[in-house]
Amino acid sequence: MIELSDNLRALGLVHGFTTREGGVSSGRYASLNMGGKWGDDPRAVAENRARVAARAGFSLADLKLVRQVHGPAVARAAEATTDTQADAVWCHRDDGPCVVAVLTADCVPILLADRNGTVACAVHSGWRGTVARVVEQAVAALVSVGVEPGALVAAIGPCIEARAFEVGEEVAAAFPGEVVTYQDGRAHVDLVAAVRAQLLHVGLPADAIERVGGCTHDHPARYFSYRRDGAQIGQMMAFVGR
């Protein structure tokens, strides 16, 4: 039901990357759909979220999601609503109990926290968000409240990997050449490598960046994948907090 980060677990944080297993949704949403965006029964989504909260040990009343728009905006949970447009949401320990989260179904989920237990952040970085460097904007928001980049740890969760992420030349051109490869003359982008490079660029130590889970496209029994199955499917949730 939930995949965990060794780095975040060592900090004692509530966190995880959900899979598609262990829920009550049916059909294309089977079974642990965490998103209400694409037509699933709201009662099933509510039950799925309740199961994850119970397993992870947090209250649904403390869960904070925002409206994701594939951009670089970052929101503080204490100031955000469900209509706030952002692709990263963070909380500070002074804000009280809070679990921040993002939803994905191929895009890259990143969870950030500092070793002193001051802040936690969830980031949604699809190809547009990666080009816009949303994870760098998230780190900047945490730095603005006194957190040193070298004190941060990051977990990059299940997402589409390069072999399955074929793109057009106009998309490939938006990325640095080192994350673009060609297979049978077709461009593929390594989003994980791109996000990792951005985290290193803003000062996170290499050993503080962890990869959790696998390729969403390649494991249909375990993960939802928009690229593999099209619209009207479920979404996974990446969450972190206290």
pLDDT along the chain (242 residues), means of 10: 97 98 97 94 98 98 98 98 96 96 98 96 98 98 98 98 98 98 97 98 98 98 97 96 94
- Tell me if 234 sits within 8 A of 33, measured CB to CB: yes
The answer as to whether 189 is a domain residue is: no
The answer as to whether 63 is a domain residue is: yes
Per the document, the length of the chain is 242
Average pLDDT of every residue of the chain: 97
How many domains does the structure of the chain reveal? Answer: 1
Long-range interactions of 4-10: CB distance < 8 A, separation 24+ = 4/212, 5/111, 5/153, 5/155, 5/210, 5/212, 6/210, 7/153, 7/154, 7/155, 7/208, 7/210, 8/111, 8/113, 8/153, 8/155, 8/240
The answer as to whether 178 is a domain residue is: no
User: What residue numbers bound the domain in which 84 lies?
Assistant: 2-160+206-241
Phi/psi of residue 8, each to 5°?
Answer: -75, -35
The answer as to whether 59 is a domain residue is: yes
The answer as to whether 72 is a domain residue is: yes
The answer as to whether 77 is a domain residue is: yes
The answer as to whether 176 is a domain residue is: no
Q: What pLDDT sits at residue 142?
A: 98
Q: What pLDDT sits at residue 45?
A: 98
- Tell me if 188 sits within 8 A of 180, measured CB to CB: yes
Q: What pLDDT sits at residue 37?
A: 85
CATH of the domain at 79: 3.60.140.10
The answer as to whether 68 is a domain residue is: yes
The pTM of the whole model exceeds 0.85? yes
Q: What pLDDT sits at residue 5?
A: 98
Phi-psi region of 141 (alpha: psi -120 to 50; beta: other; left: phi over 0): alpha
Q: What pLDDT sits at residue 122?
A: 99
What is the identity of the amino acid at 206? A
Q: What pLDDT sits at residue 231?
A: 87
Residue 138: how many other CB atoms lie within 10 Å: 31
